[in-house]
Structure formats: structure tokens, C-alpha cells
Amino acid sequence: MQQTPPPHSTTRRRILAGAGAAGLAAALAPSGTALAADAADGRSDHRRAARALLGRMSLKEKIGQLFVVEVYGKSADAEHAKNKELYGVATPAEVVAKYRPGGVIYFDARRGPDNLKDARQVAGLSNGLQRAALRSGARIPLLVSIDQEGGSVVYRMLEPATQLPGNMALAASRSGDDVRRASQIIGSELAAMGINQNYAPVADVNINPDNPIIGVRSFGSDPGLCAELVAESVRGYHRGHVASAAKHFPGHGDTDVDSHTGLPVIKHTRKQLDTIDLPPFRAAVARGVDTIMTAHIVVPSLDSSGVPATMSKPIVTGLLREELGFRGLIVTDALDMGGATEDFPPHVAPVRALKAGCDQLVLAPKADTAHAAVLKAVESGEVTRERLDASVLRILEHKLRNGLFPRPYVDEDRAERVVGSRRHTAEAARITDRTVTLLRNESSTLPLSSDPRDVLVTGWDTEQVATLAAAVGKRPGQSATPLATGAAPDATKIEEAVAAAGDHEVTVVLTNGAAATKDKGAAQGDLVTALVKAGKPVVAVAVRNPYDIARFPGVPACLVTFSYGKPSLASVVRALYGDIDPGGKLPVAVPALDEDEGTLYEFGHGLHY
């Protein structure tokens, strides 16, 4: 596989000029034609069945299929004040009956809907919502969706679901088998709970170290590596019997603006897009990805109008549908994000996205307003009946192809057996072990000896510091003291940590985002630097971005996990003591903080014991 140069300074400009394109054919070629041939007969059968269903649907039922909504509560019949506020009805089942949506999307309590507790409960919620859908209107089952990417950035389902590494961690292992199996495990557990659509994998190529929204969610900075692993992830989700979704088209990897709060502009030329951003999406299409999600980003080289890709017909229809030949579902990223709402209010955004070529509208704000706007647009001819029917037909085909009509319900007992099974948990641990990456190891600081010793575990964050310290303390002869300092330790916290380090034989310090934000990052760098100056052995563990080491390049030893989930912390402890030999290789380059100093660690760097 071709390795692109590190994405920084002059080398980053070489990527933008077109380096790294060679070798992508190998990642793209093997799957497409055979897959298309195998699917041809089934696709025509699904098309005929979908047309028959479409012919029996009212205009409002068709419009309902376009929308993916959130519902509040853990059961279909549980009343929740937020449902009343948003939709004028009290229960999730009543939301489904009122709007007859094409899909729902689950969230945990961090966003608010609080749909997820355990396997049996989620399966019961899914069954209840499917029952409500099949008792109303055209009686069409729901797409039940979730964002379960793996890792510790975008995930919804915590334990008892099996926790798998995220994309950049998996890319560090360089194992397509691990990517495929991780996706299969996630998919099989989601399917067991009645979740039939996962908005994953991320197909963005993260060539910008300052990217605030993608980062470790990406498979890295190399288009060839990303293309190969995106294809393997799609394959894994299919083996897990859940629909996959490549995102965020046409590529969100080179931005320093978060599209949740603003509207990023991607300045790549068309040649650069073909070289860097589009290969993973082409690979996903060739592998038979079910869905592609659009991004709220402006790409002037594709559409000079300045509208986000989600609202752009040249991008959605012209590039994705016609040029790339994608025949599956095109869904929007959440329409309540800043990148969509900034210039497109609730009565405009859904109509513009539909006109651009999107099939499903995710989380359109003000549901009554959004539905009325689409209805008005169709009745007035602004959106033709043919355009509406084309999207609804694809939605119905998708549901038929994924077996939702004969099998809308799941076995709640089986969900408990599958989700978080011993086999899955053991596999996840082995996969995670292969992702740990050793960037620096001066004077053979690692592995730590198993002789009795006192270890200080400090840094970011309270829960992670405590988890790691507890795991160290369980090892024979080891004792560990947790001392969290937070994301931005002040002088007092740093002095406290340095004093504690003097009473311990070795210090393990966790960092997160040290190179990403000036104030917080500088404070974490000051902590590590002060601990090193104290004279005792120090091991830094970057529990998210590998770029952290740029703040403390002189630290004796540095490990990267790309995640702060429990499995990653457990793998770190095994690496600290030499139970495993860190085998990860950087999926990105690590630039120095000062651009004039170039690159600290090249793409592919990784040490062994």
C-alpha cells in the first residue's frame, strides 16, 4: 500500500499537490464488479417490491419516510416531557404514529434522549417502535440507527456492549482482519438489539492535525490505508447483519472548524479531492456500502455557490450519485448542526437537502415545520413527485434488502446473550492489544520491571486516572496512587503532582488533547515537563491523539492508545509491564508545534521492546 508523506508543512503541501494516489487501485479493484454481479438479481426483485409498496402510499406517508427522528425515553410507551415539547405527543410510540418516519436514531443521556441502558431494554424499545410503525399508515418498518463508531469519541452504547477500538487505533494495527472483525462484533450486537443501521465507518482522511471533529475517528492520513480499511469495515458490518454508512461525504478530514458549531470550508482542488478525500468513498461504494452520509462543509472546487455539501446538487447528485455511481441511500448529517442551521432555517434545510439529492433527512429541527415545508414544496412543484418517489423508492429498497419486512422484531433473550458476550469481550481485548503504539522509549524506560514498586498515576482525567491506577495496583507487587490533575492543571496542581512523584518510583501521566488547544494543551505540557525535571522515570500515555507528544518531546517514554476506553487502558497496563509488545504504527505523522521544525514522527513510526 502506498504511504503518503506526513501531513504537515511542506510535506502536507505535497499531499495536497497529489502525492499518495498510486496504489489505490489495489484497494479499490477487487470488490466492485463481482459484488455488482451478485447483487443484480436481488436488486431487481427489491425494486419491484418497493414499487408495489410505493403505489399504495399517500403523499404524507411518503414524506414521513424521508425523516429520521430522535425519541426520548427507554421504552416505546414511556411518557417523556421532551417528546411533548418537540412533537406534541408524550411517548416514542406516539411520535412514530404521528409522523410515520422512515427511521429513528438512538442516543444516550449525554444528548438527552436517554434511549440506551442494556441489551434487553434496547431490544424492547426497538420492538416497541417497530410495532408502532407497523400499526400505522402504510405499515412500513423503521430504520433504527445509531452512531456506534468504536473508540471513545463518537459512541452511544456503553457496557454491557463490547467496547471496540476506534478507527485510528485499528489503523495503527495495520490489520484489515481486525477492522473487519471489530465492525462485525459491533454490527452483530447492534442487530441483536434491533438496531439495523450504524452510521459508520468514518471515511474521512484526516490530514489536518488541528481537525477538531474528525481526528482519531479517521483511519489516518493516508488515502490508500483509509480506502482499504473503510472497505474492510463495510464488509464487517455486513457480516454482522447491520447496514453501514460511510461518512462524511465528500471528506471532512482537512478542516480546523467543527461543523457542529460552524461551517468549514475545504479548499482542496478537484485533483486533490480525487487523490485524498474521495478514495475511501470510492472503496466503500465498490464494497457495497448501504448508505453514505453527507457533510455540512463547503467545497468551492465542487460547487462555487458556497452552500454546504448537504445542500449541493452538484456534490450530492452530480458527484456522488452520477459520477461515483452510488445507488444506495444518501442521508444528511444532523440538520440541527451549526453547519446546516447557520444559513438554512428549519423550513428551508430539509427542502434544499432533498432537492440536492439526499434521500433521508436526519434530525431536522422543528418536526412540524420541516414536514409542512416538504409537503408544500411537493404540492407546489418545487420538488417534483418524481424526485420524492425516487428517494422513497430507495428507502423502501434499502429496507427490503436488509430484511426488515419479514424480520422487524428481535429476540430480547438473545440480545442479552449476544451483547457483551465473553467471546466478543475476549476478542476485543486481543484486537485492542495490537493497537497500542510506542513512540519513544529512551534508555529502555519500558517495559517496567515487575519488581515491587510504587507508581504514581496522574494527569487527565479523574475516571481514567483511577481506572489505570486500579489496574496497575492489581498486579503482584505493584501499588499505585491516583492523582488526577484535569485537562488544564494550574501551578498548584502541577506542584502537587511533582511532590507526589518524588514519593514514587515511577510516574505514568495521561494526556488528552495536549497539542490541540493552546491553553489546555500548554498546561498539560507543563505538567509532563515538570514531572520529567523532577528526575524520576516518567511514562506519558496519550489517550486520544498521537500529536500530544509535540508538547513534551523530551519525555523518556510515550505510548499512544487513540482511546481512553477501559479496554485501551487495560492494554496500556499490559504494555507498560511487557505482557504485550506494542506493535502499533502511526497512521498519521506527528508534526512539531513549530512548523519550521518539521515532523517529529513520520507516518508508520512505531517502536518495539
418 occurs within a structural domain: no
Residues 328 and 183 both lie in one domain: yes
Using left for φ > 0, alpha for ψ between -120 and 50, and beta otherwise, residue 535 falls in left
Q: What pLDDT, on the 0 to 100 scale, is given for residue 1?
A: 39
Q: Does 462 share its domain with 399?
A: no
pLDDT at 517: 67
- Spell out where 299-408 has E strands: 329-331, 361-362
How many domains are contained in the chain? 2
The verdict on residue 126 lying in a domain is no
Question: Residues 436, 357: one domain?
Answer: no
Other C-beta atoms within 10 Å of 15: how many? 25
In three-state secondary structure terms, 453 is strand
Whether residue 91 lies inside any domain: the answer is: no
Per-residue model confidence (pLDDT) at position 22: 33
Strands 478-484 and 506-511: unpaired
- Four-residue CA torsion sign, 120, 124, 127, 129: negative
CATH number at residue 221: 3.20.20.300
Same domain for 400 and 431, yes or no, is no
Looking at the chain, the number of H-run helices and the number of E-run strands are 22, 16
**Predicted local confidence at residue 42, as pLDDT:** 66
Q: Helix (H, G, I), strand (E, B), or coil: what is residue 368?
A: helix
Per DSSP, the residues of 472-520 read HHTSTTEEEEEEE--SS--HHHHHHHHHHHTTSSEEEEEESSTTTSHHH
Q: CA–CA separation, 175 vs 525, rounded Å?
A: 32
What is the rounded CA–CA span in Å between residue 184 and residue 159? 17
| 529: three-class secondary structure by DSSP | helix
Q: From CA 466, how far away is CA 483, in angstroms rounded?
A: 8
Q: How many CB atoms lie within 10 A of CB 251?
A: 31
Residues 343 and 471 placed together within one structural domain of the fold: no
- pLDDT value for 41: 59
Grid cell listed for 311 = 445542500
Cβ-count burial 352-367 (b if 16+ within 10 Å, e if not): bbbbbbbbbbbbbbeb
| 512 and 442 together in one domain | yes
pLDDT at 348: 96
Grid-cell match 436517554, residue found: 114
> CA–CA separation, 18 vs 564, rounded Å?
34
- The domain boundary, picked from 352, 374, 406, lies at 406
Q: Are 160 and 558 in contact (CB under 8 A)?
A: no
Cis peptide bond N-terminal to 476, omega within 30: no
Indicate the residue type of 504.
H
Q: Is residue 134 part of a domain?
A: no
In a domain, 156, yes or no: no
pLDDT value of residue 40: 56
Active-site residue, from 114, 260, 343, 389: 260
> Helix or strand or coil: residue 50?
helix
Rounded Cα distance between 581 and 579, Å, is 7
Q: Which residues of the chain have pLDDT under 70?
A: 1-42, 517-519
Give 439-452 as a DSSP string: EEEGGG--SPP-SS
Amino acid letter, 110: R
Residue 235, pLDDT score: 98
Same domain? For 215 and 290 the reply is yes
| DSSP secondary structure string for all residues of 161-177 | SPP---HHHHHHHT-HH
pLDDT digits (tens, 9 = 90+) for 433-443: 999 999 999 99
| Measured distance CA(93)–CA(75) in Å, rounded | 9
pLDDT of residue 13: 42
Task: Check residue 421 and give left, alpha or beta (phi > 0: left; psi -120 to 50: alpha).
Answer: beta
Choosing from 333, 359, 433, 548, the catalytic residue is 333
Q: Which of 466, 488, 401, 535 is nearest to 50 (CA)?
A: 401
Indicate whether 222 belongs to any domain. Answer: yes
pLDDT in tens, 6-27: 334 443 444 444 333 333 333 3
Domain coverage including residue 280: 9-66+174-406
In this structure, is the dihedral angle defined by the CA atoms of residues 119, 120, 122 and 126, taken in order, positive or negative?
Answer: positive
Mention every residue, 6+ apart, whose C-beta is less than 8 A from residue 444.
none
Q: Is 333 a catalytic residue?
A: yes
- Both 372 and 457 in a single domain? no
Q: Is 29 exposed, middle or buried (0-12, 13-18, 19+ CB in 10 A)?
A: exposed
Helix boundaries (H) for 208-255: 223-239
**pLDDT for the residue 353:** 98
**114 in any annotated domain:** no
Cα–Cα distance measured from residue 87 to residue 105, given in angstroms and rounded to the nearest whole number: 15
pTM score of the predicted model: 0.92
Asked if 451 and 593 sit in the same domain, the reply is: yes
**pLDDT for position 152:** 87
Backbone φ, ψ for residue 325 (5° rounding): 75, 25
Rounded Cα–Cα distance for residues 546 and 535 (Å): 24
Q: Is residue 149 part of a domain?
A: no
CATH number at residue 461: 3.40.50.1700
Provide the pLDDT for residue 44.
82
Phi, psi of 483 (to 5 degrees): -150, 90
State the alpha helices, DSSP H only, in 193-322: 223-239, 270-272, 279-287, 313
Residues 396, 432, single domain; the answer is no
- Same domain membership, residue 352 and residue 470: no
Asked whether residue 373 falls in the same domain as residue 431, the answer is no
